[in-house]
Amino acid sequence: MVLRNKTKLVLLSIAAITSLLMGNVFQVYAAPDQQKVPTLAVFVHVINDDGGAMSASDFAVTVTAKDPSPAIFSGTEKGTTVTMKNSEYKVTELAVKGYNVSYSPGCSGRINNNEAKTCVITNDDKASYLKVIKHVINDNGSTAIASDFGINVYGNNPNPGFFMGSETGTDVKIGMGYYSVNENGLPGYNPSYSPDCYGEINLGENKTCTITNDDIPTAQLVVIKHVINNDGGTASSSDFTMLVNGNNPSPGAFQGSETGTDVNIYPGWYDVYESYNNSQYGGSLSGDCSGYINPGETKTCTITNDDIPNIPLPPPPTP
């Protein structure tokens, strides 16, 4: 049998009911409701896939509610149980530089007696990015473009680590730590690097490296091949092969010419020599066939070959 006394429902046994029917009167006490206090399980999860090294305990968690216990605590992957009274609640975390934070739906709302909710806070380390810009200046007649230069990035797992240059830039995802950038250069260009082409990068940081290549003014070397045949020789200038050593001469090898051959060469030390398999000719080189040539300078090298007269053998001695 159930008796209602305003706010309580009372269950009576069969014996009690029989006693009441027999006219006996006794006091009935109703036990109070046994309701559980609200509980909130707070989990802190950390993802370190971009070079971060924090753990859950490095993050401080605060619970705002009616009498939360504990209200402030260090995070744990295993979870922390927080008790509180019926109320609105909210879980927040003290921000840590270099990490993005996200909260599950159970991290805020209302909680009532007998309820148990779960809040998951996820902290993911931010990726760092390095933008590498390749800039080419062709104001001295060269024609290379940005994509002719190969770029290398060294550091904490750069992606990509190698690529061809781009004037608009290439975004490189890279883990925190020290890094450097260099290029596979081309002859005839002077490279310069901006300050952020090497150094240290932190979680979530963005830096820009600019590599500028400016073409070097070339110099000109005129190589004249002069042949003298006054002692029976028959060779011509084109029978001699001219060879130029230096800073990327073009051409570097060619047949001789009495009118001269123009050789474009980058500034620096150089020398000119020839190849000819004939002992009938002696050779001489002018002063500018070796030395140092400056940007924009023109020099002339003349190699002269003179045939050597045949000297008759003396007659054999008379017996």
The topology (CATH level 3) of 39-125 is: Immunoglobulin-like (2.60.40)
The domain locations on the chain are 1-34, 39-125, 128-215, 219-307
- The structure's pTM equals 0.66
Q: What is the pLDDT of residue 5?
A: 47
Residue 32 pLDDT: 52
Q: Does domain 219-307 have CATH number 2.60.120?
A: no
Quick one: which of 93, 97, 90 has its CA closest to 122?
93
- pLDDT digits 0-9 by tens, 274-293: 998 777 898 999 999 999 99
Structure confidence by residue, pLDDT tens digits, 112-161? 999 999 999 999 999 999 999 999 999 998 899 999 999 999 999 999 99
- Please, which pLDDT band fits residue 19 given cuts at 50, 70 and 90? low
> Dihedrals φ, ψ of 131, to 5°?
-95, 125
Whether 53 and 96 have beta carbons less than 8 Å apart is answered as: no
**What kind of architecture, by CATH, is found in domain 128-215?**
Sandwich (2.60)
Residue identified by tokens 């009532």 is: 112
Mean pLDDT (the chain) is 91
The predicted model gives 257-263 an average pLDDT of: 97
